[in-house]
Amino acid sequence: MITMLLAAQAFAHGNGNGNGGDARLRVDNHFDGEVEVLVDGRFVAMVPGDAAIDLQSRPGRHEVRVQRPGTGYVLTRTQLVLTPAALVVLPVEAPRTTIRIDNQGQIPLRLTLEGNNVWLVPRTVVELEVTSGNLDVTAMAHEPRGDFFAVERTVWVEPGQVASTVLRPDPTMIVVDNDDIFDMRVLVDGKDAGVVDGGDVRQIWVHPGPSVVTLIDPFGRIRSETRVVVQRGQESLIVVGDFHHDHDHHDHRPDGRPGDGRPDHGPGRGPTVVTVR
């Protein structure tokens, strides 16, 4: 708390000695930034962010205006009647304004702003109403094992203006290139990451670090378990090779008995797995 004894000419007509007949005005600033206090059109004090000051004045009616220095944006304006030896508290709240967030990355992000969650797909912009001041922006990316932090920052939101920030999270991914004719289900550390179709490629966003990638064919058989370590902003490529599905493999078991029409690759057969980068 800061107590200021104002000169009479700065606040109102009076002796300004802070005697028992003076009225007191407390400006309680709940906004993160500093504000100017003007009484009857004249500057009397600067209040830091998240602070309060006590002003002493002659009793009577006064117009009090609180504004941002530089921009002049008015946070509050009111008429107050100050009485002798009484304390009047004037709270100054942070106004609502707008922030524009641009996701220029390659992955969808779940934004957390003031306890609210908003999904933002790549190459899109969203405008949200927020409280001015220091705004904590958290953007999380989803991967098979759950959400993980992608971007975390504090953005200054000036009252009366549109703030903006650009998010460019570095994509960390595992790329599965399935050159086989069969679809493959992909597990990352045992968590389902979806299916990559035969002859197709699937990108899986992951948090940086080690991952165990398991590939399972349509018949429930594990075809590969590969441990990869992906650095932030990089990718690991896993190539699933062709299984040479010829007539014998489809129609006969390894012991020569007629098959059931499903491919049987025999003991030790599996995909060719290549880890790149």
pLDDT digit string, tens, across residues 47-105: 999 999 999 988 999 999 999 999 999 999 999 999 998 899 999 999 999 999 999 98
Q: Is the pLDDT of residue 116 over 70?
A: yes
Which burial class, exposed, middle or buried, applies to 95 when counting CB atoms under 10 A from its CB (0-12, 13-18, 19+)? middle
Q: Is the pLDDT of residue 232 over 90?
A: no
Q: Is the pLDDT of residue 242 over 50?
A: yes
Q: How confident is the model at residue 158, as a pLDDT?
A: 97
- The upper half-sphere exposure of residue 189, i.e. CA atoms within 13 Å in the direction of its Cβ, equals 13
Q: Is the pLDDT of residue 172 over 80?
A: yes
pLDDT (average), residues 259-269:
42
Q: Is the pLDDT of residue 257 over 80?
A: no
Q: What is the pTM of this model?
A: 0.67
Given pLDDT bands bounded at 50, 70 and 90, which one contains residue 255? Answer: very low
Q: What's the first-to-final CA gap in the chain, in angstroms?
A: 58
Q: Is the pLDDT of residue 256 over 50?
A: no
Determine how β-strand 2-4 pairs with β-strand 52-57.
parallel
Q: Is the pLDDT of residue 165 over 60?
A: yes
**Mean pLDDT across the chain:** 81
d(CA 49, CA 29): 6
pLDDT digit string, tens, across residues 190-220: 999 999 999 999 888 888 889 999 999 999 9
d(CA 265, CA 263): 6
Q: Extract the runs of DSSP E, i.e. beta strands, from 104-183.
A: 109-113, 116-120, 124-131, 133-143, 146-157, 162-167, 173-178
Q: How confident is the model at residue 231, as a pLDDT?
A: 85
pLDDT digit string, tens, across residues 14-46: 334 445 568 999 999 999 999 999 999 999 999
Task: Decide if 30 contacts 94 (C-beta within 8 A).
Answer: yes
